[in-house]
Amino acid sequence: MIRFDNVTKLYPSQTRPAVDDITLEIEKGEFVFLVGASGSGKSTLLRLMLREERPTAGSVHVLGKDLNRLSSWKVPALRRQMGTVFQDFRLLPNKSVFENVAFALEVIGKPRHTIATVVPEVLELVGLAGKEGRRPDELSGGEQQRVAIARAFANRPMLLIADEPTGNLDPSTSVGIMRLLDRINRTGTTVVMATHDAAIVDQMRKRVIELEGGNLVRDQSRGVYGYSR
């Protein structure tokens, strides 16, 4: 599903690499937490998976594609097989819940009748049935993140990448979001989630990959947030 081989990423203006010689493999259907302090390289790792960045050295394989060799016009096709969720939701404020999810399908050319059936389904799945007509600013933070997850999952991606999805949410709301991500994972979708939230990681007991200063310092199946706990 995802393979990093000796991947180093050095941003042009910096002397220390953001990600330093990382090798790891994530299998299909796994649920993986990516933990570490701010600036430890979590986001860079996710950006490398999304091919928002290219590695300075080493190779990244995602969904069977060598991202170094993938020509840029094929990147959209790759991203259609990946869903992305962020801490700040990234919803369009002037569109309703339904329209926000539909937008993601419209812009990749899905026909109207497909959108008409898929969007209610996925909104039902994330628990937003009945709120299709609301605007994002009429929803709670948890509900907004559910819309974002619905949008990411609408095209039934093989891989869901979540960058601190609970970062803006209170603990009880976060639990709901994690249940949702777990459900999505059970459908066979691989989930990679970067987080700071120790409670969640400890509770879920999934694979944990820890970064520190761009180095991989721990890769543990059924792990907890940190040794110190």
Partner 1 sequence: MRATVVLTEVRHGLRRNLGLTVAVVLTVLVAGVLGGLSFLLREQVSVMKDYWYDKVEVSIYLCGTESVAPSCLGPNGVAQAVTDAQRQQILLDLKSLPQVKAVYYETKAEAYQHFEQQFKNSPIAQNAPPDSLPESFRVKLKDPSQYLAVTGAFQGRSGVEQVQDERQLLDKLFSALSGIQFGGLVIALIMVVAALLLIANTIRVAAFTRRRETGIMRLVGASNLSIQLPFLLESVVAAVLGALLAWGLLTAFKAWLIDKVLAPNFQFTPFFGWDSVWKAGALVIVVSMVIAAGASMVTLRRYLRV
- Interface size with partner 1, residues (CB under 8 A): 25
Determine, following the binding rule CB under 8 A, whether residue 12 of this chain makes contact with partner 1.
Answer: no
Residues numbered 36 to 75 that lie near partner 1 (CB under 8 A) are 50, 72-73, 75
Nearest by Cα to 62 from 106, 74, 187: 74
Nearest by Cα to 119 from 136, 93, 99: 99
As measured in angstroms, the least distance from the Cβ of 80 to partner 1 is: 4
Of residues 74 and 179, the one with the C-beta less far from partner 1: 74
Spatial contact of 154 and 81, defined as CB atoms under 8 Å apart: no
Nearest by Cα to 126 from 107, 142, 137: 142
Q: What would the two tokens of residue 39 be?
A: 């600036």
As measured in angstroms, the least distance from the Cβ of 136 to partner 1 is: 11
Of residues 57 and 92, the one with the C-beta less far from partner 1: 92
Residues numbered 103 to 132 that lie near partner 1 (CB under 8 A) are 103-104, 106-109, 111-112
> Distances from the Cα of 141 to the Cαs of 85, 127, 150, 176, 193, in angstroms?
13, 14, 14, 12, 18
Q: What would the two tokens of residue 79 be?
A: 């991203």
Segments in the chain forming alpha helices (H)? 42-49, 75-79, 97-106, 112-125, 141-153, 171-186, 198-204
As measured in angstroms, the least distance from the Cβ of 97 to partner 1 is: 14
As measured in angstroms, the least distance from the Cβ of 124 to partner 1 is: 20
Of residues 50 and 209, the one with the C-beta less far from partner 1: 50
Of residues 24 and 86, the one with the C-beta less far from partner 1: 86
Of residues 118 and 208, the one with the C-beta less far from partner 1: 118
Segments in 126-156 forming alpha helices (H)? 141-153
Interface residues toward partner 1, by CB under 8 A: 50, 72-73, 75-82, 84, 90, 92, 103-104, 106-109, 111-112, 151-152, 155
